[in-house]
Amino acid sequence: MCLAVPGMILAVEQQAFNRVGTVQFGGITRQAYLDFVPEANVGDYVIVHVGFAISRVDAEEARRTYEILEKMGLLEDEGLQPDGEASQ
């Protein structure tokens, strides 16, 4: 299953013709393309689906969504929980 997961942008850089961000999901960071959300910057929260940020969300919405996915045990399937961290 591929989820759309909220994360916070830590860094943004240009790679060839693409804007790429380092996005933090809990304690895990991944690279995501930011081309679909050109207004997103460092510190913003975005919803990421299969490596592409598809929309911006506010911090509270990101937190609520992340907690729900964590409680459902779905983050582990996506590799977005640090090793040894079990869902509650």
Burial (CB < 10 A; 0-12, 13-18, 19+), residue 79, is: exposed
Residue 24 lies in a domain: yes
Residue 85 lies in a domain: no
Residue 62 lies in a domain: yes
Question: CA torsion, points 79, 67, 31, 77, in degrees to nearest 10?
Answer: 20
pLDDT in tens, 29-70: 999 999 999 999 999 999 999 999 999 999 999 999 888 888
pLDDT at 84: 46
Mean pLDDT, the chain, rounded, equals 87
- Rounded to whole angstroms, how far apart are CA atoms 14 and 61? 27
Residue 82 lies in a domain: no
Top-confidence residue, 80 or 16: 16
pLDDT at 55: 96
Q: What is the model's pTM?
A: 0.83
* Both tokens assigned to 39: 């207004």
Structural domain count of the chain: 1
State the residue range of the domain holding 13: 4-77
Residue 52 lies in a domain: yes
Residue 87 lies in a domain: no
